[in-house]
Amino acid sequence: MKKDFLCLTDWSLEELEQIFALTRELKEKQKRGEEHHLLKGKTLAMIFEKSSTRTRVSFEVGMYQLGGHALFLHSGTTQLGRGEPIKDTGRVMARYCDGIMIRTFSQQGVEELARCSEVPVINGLTDMYHPCQLMADLFTVIEHKGNYRDLAYCWIGDGNNMANSWINAATVFGFELRVATPKGYEAHPEVVERAKKLGARVLYTNDPAEAARGAHVLNTDVWASMGQEAEQKQREQAFAGFQINADIVKLADPGCIVLHCLPAHRDEEITDEVIEGPHSVVFDEAENRMHVQKAIMATLLG
């Protein structure tokens, strides 16, 4: 039976830890220059309705390193851009390709695509979730801290798809998470409610200092995500004080690490000083997108 990668809470702790183990193995092979063609002859359709840098390159290069082939399909140059239902696209792509990755707006659209597709579907980002990025973030934590357990995680900023994904991760992996957002910009209530029902250890606050105090991992994202550019000025006012800067880092654990999924608006949600400073592991995190996604593709398509 085929399995999709749409949301972290669809997967068990054991399954996700197996992906981390495979990520480590594949990353070591790649660093040693060893071939690891687990997907030789396989093809991945990559559907983009949102612009991309890291997602496209990491999936495309990763698929190549696995011995397969990736096809870039932008909605503006496909029939999706002319109104073809996504379920029709999914049915056809499943007859050509071995898997589909999609980066789009609607989580419901991704779920519909997965229902109608006979091959695995990977969520490359929606407005609701960004599970591949979250797996890369946690793998980076494991590399720098030895494991993801017994750590306090802090999210400062918008209650966006990344905040939702961190809450999902706290639910599955069981770590402590503090989420600091301005009033009116909280994480999605459905995600919050599910986490509460499942006993996740998540503190929700409107005070960044409360969230950061003693934290081992600090994390943020842009204040205005794709599709919210018209709100930029309004959000700059609402998010004043919700910046990861030297003062916030001083409140955290002395050995803390700082994450950002990129692209960053330097000196808005995070200062240039911090992203270039000794606590930052942002570019290790960006690299790990490729390694984690290779493990996800190998798990689903292999």
Tell whether 53 is in a known binding site: yes
The CB density around residue 14, as the number of other CB atoms within 10 Å, is 7
Tell whether 161 is in a known binding site: yes
Tell whether 261 is in a known binding site: yes
Rounded Cα gap, residues 293 and 23, in angstroms: 8
- What does the chain come to in residues? 302
Tell whether 79 is in a known binding site: yes
Distance of CA 83 to CAs 16, 75, 77, 88, 94, Å? 36, 10, 12, 11, 19
Tell whether 46 is in a known binding site: no
259 phi, psi to nearest 5 deg = -115, 150
Tell whether 130 is in a known binding site: yes
Tell me what percent of the chain is helix, strand and coil, each rounded to the nearest 5: 50, 15, 35
Tell whether 219 is in a known binding site: no
Catalytic (active-site) positions? 103, 130, 133, 221, 261, 289
3-class DSSP state of 100? strand
DSSP string, 258-300: EEE-S---BTTTB-HHHHTSTTB-HHHHHHHHHHHHHHHHHHH
DSSP summary character for residue 235: H
- Fill in the amino acid letter for 181: T
Tell whether 293 is in a known binding site: no
Tell whether 97 is in a known binding site: no
Task: At 205, list the tokens.
Answer: 């606050």
Binding site as annotated, residues for L-ornithine: 161, 221, 225-226
Binding site as annotated, residues for carbamoyl phosphate: 52-55, 79, 103, 130-133, 261-262, 289
Binding site as annotated, residues: 52-55, 79, 103, 130-133, 161, 221, 225-226, 261-262, 289
